[in-house]
Homo-oligomer: A and B are copies of this chain.
Amino acid sequence: MYTGRMDSRQLLVDTMSELMWERGYADTSPREVRKRSGVGQGSMYHHFPTKRDLALAALERNVADLLPASSELDGPGGPMARIEAYLMRPRDALKGCKVGRMTQDPQVREDPVLLAPVARAFAQVHDRWVAVLREAIAAGELREGLDARQLAHTLMAVLQGGYVLAIAQQDPGLFDDARAGALALLRAAAPSVPGNENNGRN
């Protein structure tokens, strides 16, 4: 499919994926895509019969962009160190998440086909979170009895919701607050006597 150079098809997908991050799907018009990409009308409808087809391709691309970052969660190093690294990695809070944003687009959220890549991406990130959280519990870095699957959703939500708060106040600091607070809570949830697995006096 990919012919080896920056062809029209690729240009269209790149441009659409930018615009979907910036403006979402519903509010992005084929006209804008053509203007920004410089690709002509005929060309566009040759490669993508409908706006939705182009959006789907762009969405898959955005999802693919996102997943490598989360592989940081199962890289080398202690589990808590990886958790902190992923949680605190630099992110452009005021732009938001190019995948999470799609859930708020009325035309995406009502379209199972467009929503599917979003769901898959989040499920994959969730799996990675669960694994590292289980490791942390096993390593005695997090208290036993915590539910790794729940906690994974909690931490993903902190990031997704952090964007919402930051955008509302136009202040990236709120995103940083949200994740720093989450990290502080995780630390407070370490077994009570660090280095001694026999907590409390059970």
A interface with B by C-beta (< 8 Å) = 22-24, 26-27, 96, 100-107, 109, 115, 118-119, 122-123, 143, 146-147, 149-165, 167-170, 174, 177-182, 184-186, 188-189, 192-193, 200
Contacts and interface: CB of A to CB of B under 8 A. Distances in A.
A177 B161 contact: no
A64 B170 CA distance: 21
A106 B164 contact: no
A168 B103 contact: yes
Given A103-B163, A146-B188, A158-B158, 7 more contacts: A119-B169, A147-B181, A150-B181, A151-B185, A156-B161, A157-B164, A161-B162
Contacts of A143: 188
A182 B123 CA distance: 19
Contacts of A118: 168
A106 B150 CA distance: 31
- Total copies of the chain: 2
Contacts of A119: 168-170
A55 B100 CA distance: 24
A123 to B, nearest CB: 7
Q: Which 9 A-B pairs have the closest CB atoms?
A: A157-B161, A161-B161, A154-B181, A160-B161, A104-B104, A150-B181, A188-B189, A157-B178, A153-B177
Contact of A154 (B109, B168, B185): B185
A164 B27 contact: no
B170 A154 contact: no
Given A147-B184, A157-B157, A200-B192, A104 B96 contact: yes
